[in-house]
């Protein structure tokens, strides 16, 4: 069991149960099937109780002075969901077959985002293992699993978790998750976890009843901010930081995607994000552990590199700007926030060459400036995608880009983001053109369910693609069921071979150009739907993109194609590029 202050600890004399409850002078421990026993209280707010006959499988709760029975906030497993007893689990008993696994370098990443409950019909860790060979053959080198922290009910996106140390029991036991990670590592696939440290879900979070979890000094979209900088915040910070270390050390994960870090408010001398990155990296030692952020503010300071080109804090950021321009290109949608990304292909050129489209400029939809300069960063500081859970789910029907976009347009944007030097991320099923929607879903009591229905209606009314009459009920079992992938459709997919070809080409020809590649050297030129981008990468080699991202012929924006053509979609006639043409080429020293 990981050496953490939180949760049960195995000792020579049995199990030591621990709870930090500074708001109460007394707390009792109740082992299922036995009478409550008082815990020993200390002045620092800790309550402890050693039980000689406890061990793996023991179920327990804590009882507060008012009689409220609560689970362990650091529970390792909740067999009866978030309101039930916690279970002691000996994580050290798992026998890893990949103990020598040290991870993979960041430039090799091809990320695959998935939701365990929808990835397979069974929706379990064990069932996911059966599909890993498909992903390896595709060219995937990293899973990014949507949040696993135990949430209330039978299904949830995962962002309503309340017990961050316990993988949700609907997916299986902790040992099953370990087996999934182990099996992925056997196939050379890294595993990242989507971690939520900006809020707790609305049902099953008992921590405020015994500890100062929230503060009224900060507000977030979910209400009061988490107390990372006020009275009692030292232990709240430790609870979160040790949670990240726990996943890295006990489950041997290879990194995180941190949800909405712009909503993590902290006025401490060292921001939680800085402390978190520093300590996770120290705990990982020599292993390749990568930290990704989602950041609405496009704060490039979090992505800075040191003199050796290594990330000081965070490895990369999900680049929504890239998504938006590629989405507009494929779909033609220009309403809502998409309106700020319309125009000629220049915005796509900027995000390919420099990272963010908005680097401090005014963004009309936002009503203010957005972002910081990012052109000095290497392209690998950004994760690119044409779909993810948010961009699909924040639509009334949760429809994917393949559902309404022309195939030639989808292929064009796919061949751009999968071969560009940024790190690509697929959303589950994308590789075979899956049409299953991925709408938001959750399962609360009826009072909360109604609030969710109303809240989603109000939230989505401000976003592109919303129609109140079409909105799916996020709490209905049918909505969750509709999101499950239909793997039977994969075998007949023409798109699958297209993805395999592109990813094979990426690993052979693009990845070798990325190690040690710096930023600030890419250039772009656009004219209408025509685009030309040039990157100066490792070994004095240059990567070139020529594209026409429209339905009419457009000019080739250079006198001639440069170097060796490694990929061509569409064609050219003299100085004209046919509609939806994408050409990739490499030139310079050290060419293969």
Active-site residues: which are they?
Answer: 259, 294
153/477 Cα distance (integer angstroms): 11
Q: Which two tokens stand for residue 541?
A: 């080699």
282/278 Cα distance (integer angstroms): 6
7/164 Cα distance (integer angstroms): 11
Under DSSP, the state recorded for 311 is B
Spell out the long-range contacts of 187-190 with Cβ–Cβ below 8 A and sequence spacing 24 or more. 187/132, 187/133, 187/135, 187/136, 188/104, 188/136, 188/141, 189/132, 189/135, 189/136, 189/140, 189/141, 189/142, 189/143, 190/103, 190/104, 190/109, 190/141, 190/142, 190/143, 190/254, 190/255, 190/288, 190/290
Biggest CA–CA distance in the chain, Å, is 86
* Helix or strand run (H / E) with residue 240: helix 233-250
- With a CB cutoff of 8 Å and minimum separation 6, the contacts of 12 are none
**Which residues are registered as beta bridge partners of 219?**
224
Cβ atoms < 10 Å from Cβ of 129: 19
Within 13 Å and on the Cβ side, how many CA atoms surround 343? 12
- With a CB cutoff of 8 Å and minimum separation 6, the contacts of 289 are 103, 248, 253, 254, 255, 280, 281
Q: Which residues of 527-557 are buried (b: 16+ CB within 10 A; e: fewer)?
A: ebbbbbbbbbbbeebbbbbbbbbbeebbbbb
Under DSSP, the state recorded for 207 is G
- CA proximity to 164, closest of 96, 233, 251: 251
**Which residues are registered as beta bridge partners of 190?**
142
Cβ atoms < 10 Å from Cβ of 450: 12
Check if the beta carbon of residue 397 is closer than 8 Å to that of residue 472. yes
3-state secondary structure of 16: strand
3-state secondary structure of 465: coil
Pairing of strands 554-555, 541-548: unpaired
* Helix or strand run (H / E) with residue 249: helix 233-250
């Amino acid at each position: 069991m990981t050496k953490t202050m939180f949760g049960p600890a195995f000792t020579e004399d049995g199990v030591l149960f621990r709870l930090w409850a500074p708001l109460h002078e007394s707390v009792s421990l109740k082992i299922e099937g036995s009478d409550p026993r008082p815990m020993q209280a200390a002045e620092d707010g800790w309550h402890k109780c050693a039980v000689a006959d406890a061990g793996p499988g023991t179920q327990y709760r804590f009882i507060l002075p008012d009689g409220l029975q609560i689970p362990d906030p650091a529970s390792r497993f909740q067999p009866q969901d978030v309101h039930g007893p916690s279970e002691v689990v000996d994580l050290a008993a798992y026998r890893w077959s990949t103990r020598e696994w040290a991870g993979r370098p960041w430039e090799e990443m091809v990320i695959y985002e998935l939701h365990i409950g929808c990835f397979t019909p069974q929706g379990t860790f064990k069932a996911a293992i059966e599909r890993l060979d498909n992903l390896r053959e595709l060219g995937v080198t990293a899973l990014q699993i949507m949040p696993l922290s135990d949430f209330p009910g039978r299904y949830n996106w995962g962002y309503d978790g309340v017990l961050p140390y316990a993988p949700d029991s609907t997916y299986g036991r902790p040992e099953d998750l370990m087996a999934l990670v182990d099996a992925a590592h056997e196939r050379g696939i890294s595993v990242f976890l989507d971690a939520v440290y900006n809020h707790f879900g609305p049902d099953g979070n008992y921590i405020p009843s015994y500890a100062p979890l929230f503060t009224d000094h900060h507000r977030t979209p979910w209400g009061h901010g988490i107390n990372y900088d006020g009275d009692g915040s030292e232990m709240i910070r430790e609870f979160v930081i040790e949670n990240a270390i726990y996943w890295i050390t006990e489950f041997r994960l290879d990194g995180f995607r941190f949800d909405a870090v712009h909503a993590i408010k902290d006025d401490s001398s060292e921001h939680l994000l800085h402390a978190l990155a520093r300590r996770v990296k120290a705990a990982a030692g020599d292993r390749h552990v990568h930290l990704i952020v989602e950041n609405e503010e496009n704060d490039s300071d979090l992505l800075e590199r040191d003199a050796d080109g290594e990330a000081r804090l965070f490895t990369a950021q999900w680049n929504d700007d890239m998504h938006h321009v590629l989405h507009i290109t494929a779909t033609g949608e220009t309403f809502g926030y998409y309106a700020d990304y319309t125009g000629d292909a220049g915005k796509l050129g900027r995000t390919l060459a420099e990272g963010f489209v908005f680097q401090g400029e005014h963004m009309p939809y936002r009503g203010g400036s957005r972002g910081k300069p990012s052109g000095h960063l290497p392209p690998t500081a950004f994760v690119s995608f044409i779909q993810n859970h948010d961009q699909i789910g924040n639509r009334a029907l949760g429809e994917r880009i393949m559902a309404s976009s022309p195939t030639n347009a989808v292929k064009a944007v796919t061949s751009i983001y999968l071969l560009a030097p940024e790190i690509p991320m697929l959303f589950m099923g994308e590789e075979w053109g899956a049409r299953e929607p991925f709408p938001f879903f959750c399962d609360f009591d009826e009072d909360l369910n109604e609030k969710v229905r109303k809240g989603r209606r109000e939230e989505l009314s401000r976003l592109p693609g919303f129609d109140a009459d079409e909105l799916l009920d996020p709490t209905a079992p049918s909505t969750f069921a509709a999101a499950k992938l239909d793997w039977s459709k994969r075998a007949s997919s023409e798109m699958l071979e297209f993805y395999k070809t592109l990813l094979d080409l990426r690993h052979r020809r693009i990845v070798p150009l990325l190690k040690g590649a710096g930023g600030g050297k890419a250039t772009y030129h656009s004219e209408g739907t025509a685009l030309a981008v040039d990157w100066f990468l490792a070994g004095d080699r240059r990567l070139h993109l020529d594209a026409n991202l429209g339905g009419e012929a457009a000019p080739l924006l250079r006198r001639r194609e440069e170097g060796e053509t490694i990929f061509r979609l569409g064609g050219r006639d003299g100085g004209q590029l046919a509609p939806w043409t994408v050409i990739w080429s490499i030139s310079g020293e050290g060419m293969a």
